[in-house]
């Protein structure tokens, strides 16, 4: 029988590896930025065009490469980071597999320019789909510049699976944030389509967080510092009152490498237990330093998952460190049973001398005298005059005549009563309408129908009512706004501002009025009818969360998502008591909708039970 196993050609193997390493333009950004950091660059510039589909360029001032190293860097499993298998357990660099550049060059047009400090001329290499087109000497500054053009040009199916430019740009910004936060000692800048998106100078860790997420972030941060034999923790957590509906501000870094860990995230959530409400997520920017031999990085193609030797110990230390910081800075409530607040000295009395109380007695006071005056020491000079006892008869003068007059007119006595208000819609002869709706546990509305009974979920029903109303305003583009007495200013990160900028037109069609829209702050002067001012920030945060999770591509889905998000935020919640008129209005409004049977998230809004169903229960 003929042999059927054969070795794959290099260009096919590189394309298969690219399927694991390069999933989207953001994957290329991550690999190139990490290579620049490993090269010792102090200034790194990222240039993006068309969300990375047309161009991704990373320029650094690192140590560069020789002509031989530049050529070998595009070979599979060519790396300068490891020499033996034991080196895998003491890694302190970002990349070590030697797959990134080979995978990227297999699916894009790549141009590399690099020069070492002691060389006069550098090297330029051009590669198209693993084929080397040119390798020459060139004039270039010290460091490395790598351009990736036309990503997935030879794999059209992979290119068609890419999302819209806004979505892909959001993923690129996320990767840029992760790398920039891990290295505050490096200067980063990012340009998209010719405009500057970020300019992050060299700074400390707190300033780097503020530069990325806005100036308002500074007041939200609580420092966390802990050092043990196993683990060193440094960084910040957000105050509980600033908890967000999204997980966009949750960052774990292990030895300056961004990781995702649901287990460690649970440790943070348990430390905030009781301080934040359900559905909210705390913000944290934590650096964990451990022994490289105690972790295994080589378990995931993107190296974002790490296996720890002793996760339980890390969990306990991390949880206690966060709880200690929240208590130390008086963020979490602390009970001290040994302290008596009654013994605390007020600040106003701190420098005052104690004075002994004095009692003054007026020994000449006689209650049987006709007239007298006495003085109280604590009220000043106040005179009190007592009427003589002989004048008590004057109190009853005319009493007999008044009593006689009132007894004669007793038959004409009238009692004051409440004024009668007749109903505007009901007939005056109709006594009382029969109640047809009832509220059960402030959650369900029970209404009688001809065949039996209908049970309606008030939260889901109100979502459907609001959803179709908002969808109508967005489609017709005619909405009514209510002006705010004072403009409302809200701060967001640059990523969140990009999301709101894309939805600005749709938000205006629902009734929002924006007076200004800067890079990190918006000012609102008008909101939709029946939207309280206190709910505006909650609505926008919920909207940002929904956009990040569902990632809409088309304009229709963005419009639909906006209507869903606003209806979910503004719908009445379980536990809210409704009057009989409100119950009846909700039932009538629900059955005036086009799809009354399901909520915007395709959940049942009501169920019915016939009389036969009740009869079967009593058999």
Closest CA to 166 of 490, 496, 546: 496
* Higher pLDDT, residue 559 or 615: 615
Q: Are residues 300 and 181 in the same domain?
A: no
The pLDDT value given to residue 238: 92
Spell out the residues 6+ positions from residue 205 whose beta carbon is closer than 8 angstroms to its own.
181, 184, 234, 235, 236, 285, 287
The pLDDT value given to residue 556: 53
In a domain, 164, yes or no: yes
504-543 confidence digits (pLDDT tens): 888 888 888 998 888 778 999 998 887 888 888 888 888 8
Average pLDDT score over the chain: 81
Domain boundary among 200, 223, 256: 200
The pLDDT value given to residue 432: 46
In a domain, 138, yes or no: yes
Mean pLDDT across the stretch 8-21? 73
Mean pLDDT across the stretch 167-188? 92
Angle at 183 between CA 117 and CA 23, to 5 degrees: 90
Q: Are residues 19 and 150 in the same domain?
A: yes
Q: Is 160 exposed, middle or buried (0-12, 13-18, 19+ CB in 10 A)?
A: exposed
Strand partners of residue 113: 124, 145
Closest CA to 27 of 305, 304, 306: 304
What are the structure tokens assigned to 366, written together? Answer: 């006689």
In a domain, 518, yes or no: yes
In a domain, 39, yes or no: yes
For residues 274 and 323, the answer to whether their CB atoms sit within 8 Å is no
Mean pLDDT across the stretch 540-550? 78
Mean pLDDT across the stretch 604-609? 92
The pLDDT value given to residue 372: 47
**Count of other CB atoms within 10 angstroms of residue 588:** 10
Number of domains, the chain? 3
Mean pLDDT across the stretch 199-224? 90
Here the CATH number for the domain that contains residue 448 is 3.30.1370.100
Question: 137-146, 248-257, 575-584: which has the highest mean pLDDT?
Answer: 137-146
Angle at 46 between CA 44 and CA 48, to 5 degrees: 175
The gap between the terminal CA atoms of the chain, to the nearest Å, is: 75
The DSSP secondary structure of 259-304, one letter per residue, reads: E--HHHHHHHHHHTTTTS-TT-B--EEEEEE--GGGEE-TTSTTS-
The 3-class SS string of 362-406 reads CCCCCCCCCCCCCCECCCECCCCCCCCHHHHHHHHCCHHHHHHHH
Mean pLDDT across the stretch 116-133? 91
The pLDDT value given to residue 288: 92
The pLDDT value given to residue 531: 81
* Higher pLDDT, residue 135 or 13: 135
Q: Name the residue range of residue 218's domain.
A: 213-328
The pLDDT value given to residue 376: 47
* Higher pLDDT, residue 119 or 385: 119
Residue 417 confidence (pLDDT) above 50? yes
Q: Element (H or E) spanning 407, and its range?
A: helix 399-408
Q: Are residues 196 and 289 in the same domain?
A: no
What are the structure tokens assigned to 401, written together? Answer: 């005549």
Relative orientation angle of helices 555-570 and 458-476, to the nearest 10 degrees: 140
In a domain, 381, yes or no: no
Percentage above 90 pLDDT, the chain: 29
In a domain, 371, yes or no: no
CB hemisphere CA count around 317 (13 angstroms): 19
Region of 553 (left: φ > 0; alpha: ψ -120 to 50; beta: rest) is alpha
* Higher pLDDT, residue 486 or 556: 486
Mean pLDDT across the stretch 457-479? 85
In a domain, 361, yes or no: no
Mean pLDDT across the stretch 326-338? 68
Domain boundary among 274, 305, 328: 328
**Residue given tokens 């929904």 in the structure block:** 546
Q: What is the CA radius of gyration of the chain?
A: 37
* Higher pLDDT, residue 396 or 50: 50
The pLDDT value given to residue 233: 93
Q: Are residues 192 and 254 in the same domain?
A: no
Confidence of residue 422 (pLDDT cuts 50, 70, 90): low
Closest CA to 117 of 80, 70, 63, 67: 63
3-state SS class at 247: coil
3-state SS class at 124: strand
Residue 343 confidence (pLDDT) above 50? yes
Residue 65 confidence (pLDDT) above 80? yes
Closest CA to 511 of 570, 589, 576: 570
Confidence of residue 428 (pLDDT cuts 50, 70, 90): very low
The pLDDT value given to residue 410: 52
Q: Are residues 192 and 217 in the same domain?
A: no
Cα–Cα distance between 378 and 504 in angstroms, integer?
A: 67
Angle at 284 between CA 278 and CA 286, to 5 degrees: 145
Least confident of 25-29, 371-375, 389-393: 371-375
Q: Are residues 173 and 221 in the same domain?
A: no
Q: Are residues 156 and 294 in the same domain?
A: no
3-state SS class at 328: helix
| Dihedral angle of Cα 79, 83, 88, 91, to the nearest 10 degrees | -70
In a domain, 168, yes or no: yes
Q: Are residues 507 and 448 in the same domain?
A: yes
Q: Are residues 601 and 483 in the same domain?
A: yes
The pLDDT value given to residue 149: 94
277-315 confidence digits (pLDDT tens): 877 889 999 999 988 888 777 666 666 777 788 889 999
3-state SS class at 449: strand
**Count of other CB atoms within 10 angstroms of residue 63:** 16
What are the structure tokens assigned to 49, written together? Answer: 């065009």
Least confident of 24-38, 113-127, 547-561, 599-613: 547-561
Q: Classify residue 210 by its DSSP letter.
A: H
* Higher pLDDT, residue 80 or 272: 272
Q: Are residues 184 and 246 in the same domain?
A: no
Domain boundary among 137, 169, 200: 200
Percentage above 70 pLDDT, the chain: 79
The pLDDT value given to residue 116: 93
Residue 502 confidence (pLDDT) above 70? yes
Cα–Cα distance between 489 and 423 in angstroms, integer?
A: 45
The 3-class SS string of 501-515 reads HHHHHHHHHHCCEEE
What are the structure tokens assigned to 530, written together? Answer: 């029946």
Q: How far is CA 402 from CA 43, 270, 395, 396, 411, in A?
A: 102, 78, 13, 11, 16
Q: Are residues 149 and 274 in the same domain?
A: no
Mean pLDDT across the stretch 180-202? 92
The pLDDT value given to residue 377: 47
Here the CATH number for the domain that contains residue 150 is 3.30.565.10
Cα–Cα distance between 488 and 515 in angstroms, integer?
A: 10
Here the CATH number for the domain that contains residue 279 is 3.30.230.10
The pLDDT value given to residue 82: 66
Residue 265 confidence (pLDDT) above 60? yes
pTM of this prediction?
0.70
3-state SS class at 409: coil
Looking only at the bridges linking them, the beta strands covering 521-528 and 513-517 are antiparallel
Q: Are residues 458 and 318 in the same domain?
A: no
């Amino acid at each position: 029988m003929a042999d059927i196993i054969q070795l794959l050609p290099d260009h096919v193997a590189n394309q298969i590896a690219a399927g694991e390493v390069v999933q989207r333009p953001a994957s290329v950004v991550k690999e190139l930025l990490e290579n620049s950091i490993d090269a010792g660059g102090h200034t790194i510039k990222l240039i993006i065009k068309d969300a990375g589909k047309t161009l991704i360029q990373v320029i650094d001032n690192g140590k560069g490469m020789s002509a031989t190293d530049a050529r070998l860097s595009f070979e599979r499993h060519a790396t300068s980071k490891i020499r033996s298998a034991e080196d895998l357990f003491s890694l302190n660099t970002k990349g070590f597999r030697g797959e990134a550049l080979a995978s990227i060059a297999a699916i894009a047009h790549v141009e590399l320019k690099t020069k070492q400090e002691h060389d006069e001329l550098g090297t330029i290499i051009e590669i198209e789909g693993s084929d080397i087109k040119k390798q020459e000497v060139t004039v270039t500054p010290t460091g490395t510049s790598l351009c990736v053009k036309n990503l997935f040009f030879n794999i059209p199916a992979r290119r068609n699976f890419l999302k819209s430019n806004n979505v892909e740009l959001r993923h690129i910004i996320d990767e840029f944030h992760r790398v920039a936060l891990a290295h505050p000692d490096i200067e980063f800048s990012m340009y998209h389509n010719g405009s500057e998106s970020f300019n992050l100078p060299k700074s400390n860790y707190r300033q780097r967080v503020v530069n990325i997420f806005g100036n308002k972030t500074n007041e939200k941060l609580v420092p966390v510092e802990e050092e043990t034999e196993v683990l060193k923790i440094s960084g910040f957590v957000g105050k509980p009152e600033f908890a967000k509906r999204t997980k966009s501000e949750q960052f774990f870094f292990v030895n300056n490498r961004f990781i995702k860990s649901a287990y460690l995230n649970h440790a943070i959530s348990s430390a905030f237990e009781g301080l934040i409400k359900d559905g909210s997520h705390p913000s944290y920017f934590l650096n964990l330093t451990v022994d490289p031999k105690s972790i295994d990085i080589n378990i995931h193609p993107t190296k974002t998952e790490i296996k720890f030797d002793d996760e339980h110990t890390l969990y306990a230390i991390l949880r206690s460190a966060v709880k200690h910081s929240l208590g130390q800075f008086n963020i979490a409530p602390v009970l001290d049973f040994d302290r008596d607040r009654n013994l605390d000295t007020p600040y106003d009395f701190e420098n005052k001398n104690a004075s002994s109380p004095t009692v003054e007695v007026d020994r000449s006071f006689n209650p049987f005298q006709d007239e007298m005056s006495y003085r109280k020491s604590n009220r000043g000079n106040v005179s009190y005059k007592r009427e003589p006892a002989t004048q008590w008869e004057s109190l009853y003068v005319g009493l007999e005549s008044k009593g006689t007059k009132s007894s004669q007119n007793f038959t004409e006595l009238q009692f004051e009563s409440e004024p009668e208000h007749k109903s505007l819609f009901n007939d005056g002869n109709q006594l009382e309408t029969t109640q047809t709706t009832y509220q059960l546990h402030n959650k369900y509305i029970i209404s009688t129908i001809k065949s039996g009974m209908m049970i309606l979920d008030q939260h889901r029903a109100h979502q459907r009512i609001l959803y179709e109303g908002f969808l109508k305003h967005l489609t017709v583009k005619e909405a009514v706004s209510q002006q705010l007495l004072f403009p409302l200013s809200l701060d967001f990160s640059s990523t969140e501002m990009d999301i709101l900028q894309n939805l600005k037109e749709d938000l205006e069609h629902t009734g929002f009025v924006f007076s200004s829209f800067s890079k990190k702050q918006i000012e609102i002067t008008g909101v939709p009818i029946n939207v309280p001012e206190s709910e505006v920030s909650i609505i926008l945060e919920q909207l940002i969360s929904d956009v990040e999770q569902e990632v809409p591509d088309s304009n229709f889905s963005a419009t639909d998502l906006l209507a869903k998000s606003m209806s979910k935020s503004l719908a009445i919640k379980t536990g809210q008591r409704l009057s009989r008129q409100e119950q009846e209005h909700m039932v009538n409004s629900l059955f005036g909708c086009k799809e009354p049977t399901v909520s915007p998230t395709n959940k049942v809004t009501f169920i019915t039970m016939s009389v036969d169903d009740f009869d079967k229960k009593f058999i």
